[in-house]
Amino acid sequence: MTDERIEKLDRLKKLLHGYQKIAIAFSGGVDSTFLLKVAQEELGDGALALTIQSPTLTEDDLKDVTSFYEESGVNYMLIPLNQLKTPSFSHNSPNRCYVCKTIEFTCMAEEAKKRGIKWVAAGINADDMRDYRPGLKALDEIGIVSPLKEAGMTKADIRFFSKRYHLKTWDKPASSCLASRVQYGELITEEKLNKISAAERVLKNLHFRKLRVRYHHGNIARIEVAPEERSIFFNSNIMDTVAEKFKEIGFSYTTLDLSGYRSGSLNEVLDEETKNKVKMSIHGSR
């Protein structure tokens, strides 16, 4: 362990103690699991976990959430919420993430306040600032804190410490809400989210680890898998199985992205002008 990483962990602990009581937005992913673990160790009952239970949460993430709660004994709340009832979310414009985070974190902040907790923390790390993430603006506006980012922790740091803390998530592939799989402009419905979830389950059962199934106009599934796993599709039996299963799930066509998995690939079609318009619309809506 390097001195730099020791310093980052110390900074994180000091930040948490400074809050005294804090609610952690817990998704079951690598970042929020590590943050919750450290908060629980440092603050005890002063740490509360909040999980939004909605159609956008993947089945695997919900299982990871409930499993961690059962094993850790941490104080927690499951908060039922359906973002699909909000038209500005379900219509799926490029500012969808901003709308979603506003809904979710406003709800969590209200629940925390009822329990006498002023601070709500998100598992944002230092690397997250590099991607197009309009949702981060919503967190700033609501007053959500990001201890991992403030401590300077990168994803590599978090995976390193997660392994030392014996957390099962230390090598868990990155996850995100199911809505992030739907092409911008395509209406988000529970039926589509269920189809995406079922399709990704097919791939996981075939032992793919890092993957996404993106939903495109025309009821098209675009598969992304880790670059090193693409060669698995050279097996015609695998291709036939996937094609058949996806057809049963309800997709009209199934395609494979030859570039492989990369985070936020649906943002690749957004030019800088569109991104700037989103930023301006967010600024003007407040």
Active-site residue list: 177
Q: Is 23 helix (H, G, I), strand (E, B) or coil?
A: strand
Q: Are strands 119-121 and 22-25 parallel, antiparallel or unpaired?
A: parallel
Residues 19 and 44 sit within 8 Å (Cβ to Cβ): no
Q: What is the DSSP string of 193-250?
A: HHHHHHHHHHHHHTT--SEEEEEETTTEEEEEE-GGGGGGGGSHHHHHHHHHHHHHHT
Q: How far apart are CA 261 and CA 180, in angstroms?
A: 13
Q: How far apart are CA 261 and CA 224, in angstroms?
A: 4
* CB-based burial label for 71 (10 Å; 0-12, 13-18, 19+): exposed
- Alpha-carbon span 3 to 117, nearest angstrom: 33
Nearest to 172 by CA among 68, 93, 24, 39: 68
Q: Which amino acid is at 235?
A: N
